[in-house]
Chain A
Amino acid sequence: MKKKWSKVFMASALAAGILAGCGTGNQGASGGGGNSDVFKLGVNMELSGNVASYGESMTKGIEMAVAEINKAGGVEGKQIEVIKNDNKSEAAEATNGIIKLTSQDKVNAVIGAATSGNTVAQAQIANDTKTVLMAPGGTSPTVTVDEKGKVRDFVFRTSFIDPFQGTVAANFALDKLKVKDAAIFSDNSSDYAKGLTNAFKETFEKAGGKIVGEESYVAKDTDFRATLTRIKAKNPSFIFIPGYYEEVGLIVKQARELGITAPLMGADGWDSPKLVDLAGADALNNTYLINHYSNEDPDKKVQDFVTAFKDKNKGEAPNAFNALGYDTVYFLADAIKRAGSTDSVKIQEELAKTKELSLVTGVLSLDKNHHPIKSAIVLEYKDGKQVFNTKINP
């Protein structure tokens, strides 16, 4: 008899817990009433975890742009208020983050996630709640197009997409470096690297190049020597390494130690000051990366941005992620201006119509899949410094 009571109390405990949740729920709903004097901008970024360096850089760029716009009178007479959320570089936390931003903080738009996977984790909620979601760095096509090939109406991005980067890398290797064979060593734990690998392989093989070896690793690995030895045995004259800086730094160092002298190349995932610390300046010689932007681009818009950024950050030069974060805010602000309203459906319609918008990271036009068509830049590492090599237009 007694034992059955356990269920009763258990259920009442459950009820108590849930009612406690309800209590605060009501407060949240009444407290979050719309304050229409400000435009609330949620920022759901990787502020800790694996790729914290990207999230921090982008947030810096976002805050700088917001400060400038607010100084100039804000958007449609409203000051922009930034509400930050740390997604810890994890997809589930990114989902929780956008749920919190849209329902608790009642933001007007969200800028978020530096990487593709964490942006995809938010995309469906953005569409369901009709919140504009801007991805500064989500380079995978799946960010704006769902698995059935349908465009996600409320999701936009500032960066070019992975297939473009992969194509640029393949053409650069064939035309500039004049190589005929290449190996690929890619990060198996990201959509990003997989997208790049496929595009690179396709372009490279179509143009008559030969892929002599294809290996992969998993984020957080530290020992790549065994696999690199395997690659070395195939003696490729070029190695494409799509991945993120934390592992790429170690790969470059270990590759050079094993006597691999071939040029190495990667994409925007390489761009972090930590890469130079990890790999060492010597090992990075004869390596190339594709990027959204270069500090040395003589374009006036770029140079103005570099000067303004240095003034704000004690002389520290901006990187591509700072620029992308910065541009994303202006991309959004431009659409709000054209819409003449902060209503998210109107903003969304105007964003989709963006044409020839001049930004720091290039001139941006959107295609029907919300993929920006813009230029990419190839940089070369020389003694630990990124040096401008070529600018490639789409």
Chain B
Amino acid sequence: MDWLQQLINGISLGSIYALIALGYTMVYGIIKLINFAHGDVFMVGAFIGFYAITGWGLGFFPALIISMAFCAVFGVLIERIAYKRLRNATRIAALITAIGMSLLIEYGMIFIRGAQPEAYPDDVVPNKAISLFGVQINSQSLFILLTSIVLMIILQFIVHRTKMGKAMRAVSLDMDAARLMGINVDKTISFTFAIGSALAGAAGVVFGVYYTKIEPLMGVIPGLKAFVAAVLGGIGSIPGAMVGGIILGVVEAIVSAAGFSLWRDAAAFIILILILILKPSGIFGKNTKEKV
């Protein structure tokens, strides 16, 4: 029953990647910017959740909501301060600004509280091992999986059933046309950042509960991996980000299970490069023709 256990390990990890990847994919879909700072919003979310739980003694859900709200505001601030001016700048300038913001948040955090790690308390979410056919399923991982799925369903609802969601889709399709149709483009972009960042914040809390250790540089690698997941699923596509995240998590679990745990990070990047070369539009992406 080993493979089943490994599958569960992979899906739990993948659902965290998926939550972060959603923010990447939405932002990229709408302003064509790889928001490197996204991984750090995830880190900030983890810390907010930690302080809410240990400082104020809150439970998992209130902490999750506080962290999501804070990150939403934080994401909009980043967008307003750094990215808004760059909407018509070159891609390189935008990408470098994003790298700069990412470093600023990481080292700002270290400056404020130091680089030492923090441990999430153990009892936030009931932690019981459920034994099913010889497979240890942790109640925490079930909880996390459920939280992720619920958040993704809410997101699907927002994007496809609300007016704001319609505006988001319109702006990502053609920003100028959307503006001509009377859509407030700035507001829509801010809203996209808010939602993406809230999901990253949620992912931060979930990560903290599941993996215990949080530290100021924790967002870097999951951030990059989530980007890989977003590209894998087809950047700009919401179901793509979910599927891409889960696939990446499962692939990593398989690589470790086969005894190549030291090559796990390389596997993610090899997938990225293969996808970029063979099918740059990803699994769910649409092919775009080059405009001259």
A and B touch in the complex (CB under 8 A): yes
Which residues of chain A are within 8 angstroms of B262 by Cβ–Cβ distance? 188, 216-218
Q: Are B119 and A226 interface neighbours, CB within 8 A?
A: no
Contact with B along A240-273 (1 / 0, CB 8 A): 0000001001100100011100000000000000
CB distance from A279 to the nearest CB of B (A): 8
Since A250-B213, A274-B117, A277-B119 are in contact, a sample of 14 more A-B pairs with Cβ atoms closer than 8 Å, ordered by chain A residue number, is A48-B115, A216-B262, A220-B221, A223-B9, A225-B9, A225-B253, A226-B9, A226-B255, A229-B257, A230-B259, A246-B213, A257-B127, A278-B119, A278-B213
A218 proximity list for chain B (CB < 8 A)? 262, 265
The reply to whether B9 and A257 form a contact with Cβ atoms under 8 Å apart is no
Contact residues, B79-133 vs A (CB, 8 A): 110, 114-119, 122, 127, 129, 131
Bound: A181/B116 CA distance, A: 36
Q: Which of B110, B116, B254, B265 has the most CB of A within 10 A?
A: B116
Interface size class of A (residues with CB under 8 A): 20 to 34
Report how far A258 CA is from B140 CA in the complex, Å.
Answer: 12
Given A49-B115, A53-B116, CB of A222 within 8 Å of CB of B129: no
Q: Is the CB of A258 within 8 A of B256?
A: no
Q: How large is the interface on B (under 10, 10 to 19, 20 to 34, 35 or more residues)?
A: 35 or more
Asked if A199 CB lies within 8 Å of chain B CBs, one says no
Contacts between the two chains (Cβ within 8 Å), count: 81
B290 at interface, CB cutoff 8 A:
no
* Distance to closest chain B CB from A316 (angstroms): 16
Q: Is the beta-carbon distance between A226 and B211 smaller than 8 angstroms?
A: no
| Given A52-B116, A53-B116, A274-B119: A257 in contact with B129 (beta carbons within 8 A) | yes
Which residue of chain B lies nearest to A281 when distances are taken between CB atoms in the complex?
B122
Which of A49, A222, A229 makes the CB contact (< 8 A) with B2? A229
Given A253-B212, A257-B138, A259-B136, A227 and B117 contact (CB-CB distance below 8 Å): no
The 8 A-B pairs at the shortest CB distance, nearest first, are namely: A226-B256, A277-B119, A225-B9, A226-B253, A259-B136, A280-B122, A227-B261, A278-B119
B27 within 8 A of A: no
B2 proximity list for chain A (CB < 8 A) = 229-230, 233
By a CB distance below 8 angstroms, the chain B residues around A223 are 9, 13, 211, 252
Mind listing 8 A-B residue pairs with CB under 8 Å? A215-B259, A225-B12, A226-B254, A226-B256, A246-B213, A250-B211, A278-B117, A280-B122
User: Which residue from B110, B138, B218, B256 sits with its C-beta under 8 Å from A227?
Assistant: B256
* B residues whose Cβ falls under 8 Å from a Cβ of A: 2, 5-6, 9-10, 12-13, 110, 114-119, 122, 127, 129, 131, 136, 138, 140, 211-213, 218, 221, 252-257, 259, 261-262, 265
Residues in A whose Cβ lies below 8 Å from that of B256: 226-227, 230
| Residues on the B chain within 8 Å of A216, using CB | 261-262
The CA of A226 and the CA of B118, in the complex, are separated in Å by 23
Binding site for B on A (CB under 8 A): 48-49, 52-53, 188, 215-218, 220-223, 225-227, 229-230, 233, 246, 249-250, 253, 257-259, 274, 277-278, 280
A53→B117 CA distance, assembly (Å): 10
The answer for the CA separation of A225 and B115 in the assembled complex, in Å, is 25
Cross-chain contact A246 with B117 (CB below 8 angstroms): yes
Taken together as a complex, chains A and B put the C-alpha atoms of A382 and B261 apart, in Å, by 31
Q: Which of A258, A274, A280 contacts B136 (CB 8 A)?
A: A258
> Which residue of chain B lies nearest to A253 when distances are taken between CB atoms in the complex?
B212
Enumerate chain B residues within 8 angstroms of A250, measured Cβ to Cβ: 211-213
Q: Are A52 and B6 in contact (CB under 8 A)?
A: no
Q: Chain B residues near A274: list those with CB within 8 A.
A: 116-117, 119
A229–B6 contact, CB under 8 A?
yes
Contacts of A246 in B (CB 8 A): 117, 213
Chain A, Cβ-Cβ closest to B131? A259
Asked whether A222 lies within 8 Å of B9 as measured between CB atoms, the reply is no
Which residues of the partner chain A approach B116 to less than 8 Å between Cβ atoms?
52-53, 274
Least Cβ distance of A68 to chain B in Å?
28
In the complex, what residue of chain A is closest to B211 when comparing beta carbons? A222
How far in angstroms is the closest Cβ of chain B from A260? 9
State A291–B77 Cα separation when bound (angstroms): 49
Q: Taking the nearest CB of chain B, how far is it from the CB of A235, in angstroms?
A: 12
Measured CB to CB, the closest approach of chain B to A234, in angstroms, equals: 11
User: Contacts of B110 on A, CB cut-off 8 Å?
Assistant: 48
User: In the assembly, what is the distance between CA of A91 and CA of B153, in Å?
Assistant: 47
Contacts of B5 in A (CB 8 A): 229, 258
In angstroms, Cα B6 to Cα A230, docked, is 9
Across-interface contacts of B114 in A (CB, < 8 A): 48
Q: How far is the CA of A217 from the CA of B262 in the complex (A)?
A: 6
Residues of B contacting A227 in the complex (Cβ-Cβ under 8 angstroms): 256-257, 261
Residues on A with beta carbons closer than 8 Å to the beta carbon of B129: 257, 259
A218 to B213 Cα, complex, angstroms: 15
Q: Find out whether the CB atom of B213 lies under 8 angstroms from the CB atom of A249.
A: yes
Task: Give the docked Cα–Cα distance between A233 and B211 (Å).
Answer: 22
Residues of B within 8 A of A52 (CB): 115-116
Chain A hits for B221, CB < 8 A: 220
User: Of residues A188, A233, A250, A257, which shows the largest number of chain B Cβ atoms within 10 Å of its Cβ?
Assistant: A257
CA distance A216 to B221 in the complex (A): 19
